[in-house]
Amino acid sequence: MLNDSAVSGRPQPALSGTELATSTTIKRPNSFTSQIQADSAGPSKGRNLGFSDLDSLLAQKGPLGSGTAIRMPDDQLFQYDSAELQASSVEQLQKLGTLIRRNPKATFSIEGYTDAFGSFEYNLDLSQRRADSVKDYLVNVMGINPAQIQTRGFGASKFLVAPRPVMDPLQEEAEIRRQQPNRRVVIVVHTNE
């Protein structure tokens, strides 16, 4: 399930669906939404507007608000062209599992995304497998109730970094690294409170 090694294979880039990611907050009476301008990778990784930080959410009292969006650290979960979790993802996944356990009445949507390399169908499948990998870890390793978690792959859409066409094969590796933020998983909290 966990993989430290790099993955080979380089699908060709597909530049469709270049919309930017947004975070929607659902507000209901007697509920709150935690929106903190940070990500769970820590202060050295920069700020991600509209996403909440796992450490901050774990420190707060009370249930999570519906619509809270948590972006998992994109540099720790998956290698390029892979749905296998890296060993470096374990700490963040354990924090996420703790957060889910503290919110037994909530459900959590795990949304997978990819970069622009590969066909639409390939990226849709890869993003679904990435979301499923996170759920499998939470259910099989941490014992989280599978009914609390739904998964959905969005493929190469809602880009955080707009893809650029690669005309020179020597530029491909640089573009793959530049699009790392697009290879991500976002967790969205849903409650009836």
Q: Express each pLDDT in 13-68 by its tens digit.
A: 443 333 333 333 333 333 333 333 333 333 334 444 456 778 888 888 888 889 99
Residue with tokens 């849709």: 124
**160 in Cβ contact with 20 (< 8 Å):** yes
CA distance linking residue 8 with residue 16, whole number of Å:
23
Domain boundaries, the chain: 43-190
Q: Is CATH 3.30.1330.60 the classification given to domain 43-190?
A: yes
- Contacts of residue 186, defined as CB under 8 A and 6 or more positions apart, other chains included, come to 21, 51, 69, 70, 71, 72, 110, 111, 113
Alpha helices in 32-116 (DSSP H): 54-59, 74-77, 90-101
Q: What is the pLDDT of residue 135?
A: 98
Does the pTM surpass 0.85? The reply is: no
CA distance linking residue 51 with residue 36, whole number of Å:
6
Instruction: Identify the DSSP state of 88.
Output: G
